[in-house]
Amino acid sequence: MSAPPRTSERPRASRPAERPAQSRRSADHPQEHLLARRHARLVRGRRRLMGAAILLGVAIGLVAYLAGGREDGASVASLARPHAPPRAEPLPAPAVPTADRFAAAAAYARARTGNASLAVVDTRGRARGLDARRGYVSASVLKAMILVAYLDLTARRGEPLTNSARSQLEGMIRRSENAPANQLVQVVGAGGLREVARRAGMRRFTPLVAPWGLSRITAEDQARFFHRIDELAPGRYRAFARGLLTGIVPEQRWGVPQAARDRFTVLFKGGWLPSDERGWTVHQVAKLESGRGPLSIAVLSDGNPSRAYGMETVRGVAERLLR
Cα–Cα distances in angstroms (integers) from residue 294 to residues 2, 224, 238, in the given order: 149, 12, 16
Whole-angstrom CA distances from 170 to 249, 286, 298 are 11, 18, 22
Tens digits of per-residue pLDDT, 232-279?
999 999 999 999 999 999 999 999 999 999 999 999 999 999 999 999
- Is residue 200 within 8 A of residue 224, CB to CB? The reply is yes
The residue type found at 110 is: R
CB 269 within 8 A of CB 186: no
For the chain, give every domain's residue range.
33-74, 99-322
Structural contact between residues 140 and 217, judged by C-beta atoms closer than 8 angstroms: no
pLDDT score at 30: 53
What pLDDT, on the 0 to 100 scale, is given for residue 86?
A: 64
Task: Let me know how long the chain is.
Answer: 323
Under the banding of pLDDT at 50, 70 and 90, the label for residue 28 is very low
- Give 117-132 pLDDT, tens digit per residue: 999 999 999 999 999 9
- What percentage of the chain reaches a pLDDT higher than 70? 71
- Statement: residue 24 has pLDDT above 60: no
3-state SS, residue 221: helix
Written out in words, the top-level CATH class of the domain with range 99-322 is alpha beta
Residue 141 has pLDDT above 70, yes or no: yes
Task: Label residue 53 by pLDDT band (50, 70, 90).
Answer: low
Q: What span, in angstroms and rounded, lies between the C-alpha atoms of 232 and 201?
A: 11
211-226 pLDDT, tens per residue? Answer: 999 999 999 999 999 9
pTM: 0.72
**155 vs 196: CA distance, rounded Å:** 14
Nearest CA to 231 out of 284, 287, 165 is that of 287
